[in-house]
Amino acid sequence: MKFEKVRWGIIGCGDVTEVKSGPAFQKIKNSELVAVMRRTGELAKDYAERHNVPKWYDDAEALINDPDVDAVYIATPPSSHKEYTIKVAKAGKPVYVEKPMALNFSECNEMIAVCKEAGVPLYVSYYRRALPRFVKIKELLENKAIGDVRFVSTTQYQKASEDVLDSQNSPWRVQPEISGGGLFFDLASHTLDLLDFLLGPIKDVQGFASNQAGNYRAEDIYTGTYRFESGIHGIGIWCFSAFEDVDVNELVGSKGKITFSTFGNEPIVLTTASGTEQWSFEMPQHVHQPLIETIVADLTEDSGQCLSTGVTGARTNWVMGEIR
């Protein structure tokens, strides 16, 4: 399935598509955003006018079946990812779906199977796999900058934000039936997918999940230990009701360590017996753009280039489910 130019449609043109992803489709060679959809037609129309998109819909199936749409980006909450992926795949069109990939591992497997049967590719928007700062970490590991990797530790905690404290209007991210499992599924998924990218698949997982603060129904603290297929060990703690915000990952090897954050833009720090080195990277204006470029290359050229697929996305869902 190759295209001269990929004409995209977006289902769910909400906040994430305003800057992070939507404009990137228009800026990439051999890519064009031709249609958007939102259940509230006026909002879809407003988005289309502001972003110079020729068509807008308030019905997802109308966009999916539009002959001018070659591929579809599903930017809705996780609870509808499976439903829309199945419809897009059955229409014979490639799928690019937001993260986390689905509510659970079982849904991910259904999505993979449907896309495989339909003969269409399935991509997941773990865009950090293509960001230069994380590609640099991968390069350092491959060049044995810290020798053989022994373990990775993740410490991520933050204060409860004002919106999640509003029990009458809880955001969908803390409603398990919509998000899959609270802020852990929304935020920790990025880190766990990064570890899959950097270190390979995780093989064994154990964990605990609790609701300590009682601000909403989803669990607000998770701890996990895991072992990668390579034999590397890992440990992580995520808390969403702490007194401050912390975001630190540490890759420790036989000859040094690499320290970096998942969400911040602090320098990557390499520490060895020789001292320390640092690398700083400017975040792209549209953070999805480097990943979307690999997807467009996948769909217009002969060689596969995208490193965030349904298979890798499903692995992250599996790990989260096992920790939970």
CA distance 126 to 132: 14
**Per-residue pLDDT at 115:** 98
Q: What is the mean pLDDT of residues 5-24?
A: 97
CA distance 122 to 157: 32
Please report the DSSP string for 209-252 in residue order: EE--S-SSSS--EEEEEEEETTS-EEEEEEESSSSS-EEEEEEE
Angle, CA 129 vertex, CA 225 and CA 269 arms, to 5°: 70
Question: Tokens standing for 320?
Answer: 């989260």
Q: What's the gap between Cα 161 and its chain centre?
A: 21
Q: What is the mean pLDDT of residues 157-180?
A: 90
Question: E-assigned strands of 15-101?
Answer: 31-37, 55-57, 71-74, 95-97
CA distance 125 to 308: 7
Report whether pLDDT(168) > 80. Answer: no
Summarised one tens digit per residue, pLDDT across range 63-113 is 999 999 999 999 999 999 999 999 999 999 999 999 999 999 999 999 999
Q: What is the mean pLDDT of residues 254-283?
A: 97
**Per-residue pLDDT at 170:** 85
Q: What percentage of the chain has pLDDT greater than the value 70?
A: 99
Q: What is the mean pLDDT of residues 135-158?
A: 98
Give the strand pairing for 149-157 and 233-239.
Answer: parallel
**Per-residue pLDDT at 305:** 82
Summarised one tens digit per residue, pLDDT across range 295-307 is 999 999 866 789 9
pTM (predicted TM-score): 0.96
With CA atoms as reference, report the closest residue to 134 among 16, 23, 315, 290.
290
**Per-residue pLDDT at 263:** 97
Q: What percentage of the chain has pLDDT greater than the value 90?
A: 95
Q: What is the mean pLDDT of residues 44-61?
A: 98
Report whether pLDDT(251) > 90. Answer: yes
Report whether pLDDT(167) > 90. Answer: no
Are 80 and 107 a contacting pair, CB within 8 Å?
no
Q: What is the mean pLDDT of residues 228-244?
A: 98
Summarised one tens digit per residue, pLDDT across range 77-89 is 999 999 999 999 9
The model's confidence at residue 196, banded by pLDDT at 50, 70 and 90, is very high
CA distance 139 to 152: 16
Give the strand pairing for 95-97 and 246-253.
Answer: unpaired
**Per-residue pLDDT at 259:** 98
CA distance 81 to 38: 14
Instruction: Map out the domains of the chain with their CATH numbers.
Output: 6-128+287-310 (3.40.50.720), 132-283 (3.30.360.10)
**Per-residue pLDDT at 74:** 98
**Per-residue pLDDT at 5:** 97
Between 303 and 145, where is the model more confident?
145
**In sequence order, what are the residues at sequence separation of 6 or more whose Cβ sits closer than 8 angstroms to the Cβ of residue 52?**
26
CA distance 144 to 165: 45
**Per-residue pLDDT at 302:** 67
Burial of 31 (0-12, 13-18, 19+ CB in 10 A): buried
